[in-house]
Structure 1
């Protein structure tokens, strides 16, 4: 025999499940690659790189290229400095890594890039002295 409390508990459980579906960004995503604790999920407009040792909100990044997603994973595993100085890719590396020393190095590169202005960029003196 069902009681009122059973009905209320079932309704609360159903509400919790629907809330999870609403906020689950990986619903419909297919896992297509895994290396150590990193996985790549294929979504509608690209790929999600996710570090399973971190919470999803803090340990994932969105990329459009599968090859770039694999490169970000390889760089994070081997603690290599990315060849690019692209701000978004540096932030992607920072988001998915768990190593604090590697994260600090990447943050230093990012702040140096953000602080760089036209005034302190390199220019060829011999070219400008001829003008």
Structure 2
């Protein structure tokens, strides 16, 4: 999985992404409405990356690291995730999600990455429906 937009690269997570992912997931403002506390140790980010990498293997899809082309930095994540447990009577659904480091909020990156992810889901994965929730 590799997606590219005008300003972004969406690619599979790598072990070397742990530091930037920790910067994201340890921020209380980012995690405010997620339902889980901010991460407190970088090993938690390393474990998150391993979990996402396993989803690539098990499901053929998973959240992708979002790299800003201009800076070359990981600025967040975006993409589809296969949800296998039942939600509102549905299971085995694709869920669209994203999360960004606050300094990159308000720049249209969420919409840009979401559009690329939806295009991938509908055209490559042949999904009939893709869900998202807040």
Q: Same fold (TM over 0.5)?
A: no
Question: Quick check: which one's helix share is greater?
Answer: 1
Larger radius of gyration: 1
Q: Which has the higher contact order (CA 8 A, sep 6+)?
A: 2
Q: TM-score, normalised by structure 1?
A: 0.30
Q: TM-score, normalised by structure 2?
A: 0.30
Question: Quick check: which one's strand share is greater?
Answer: 2
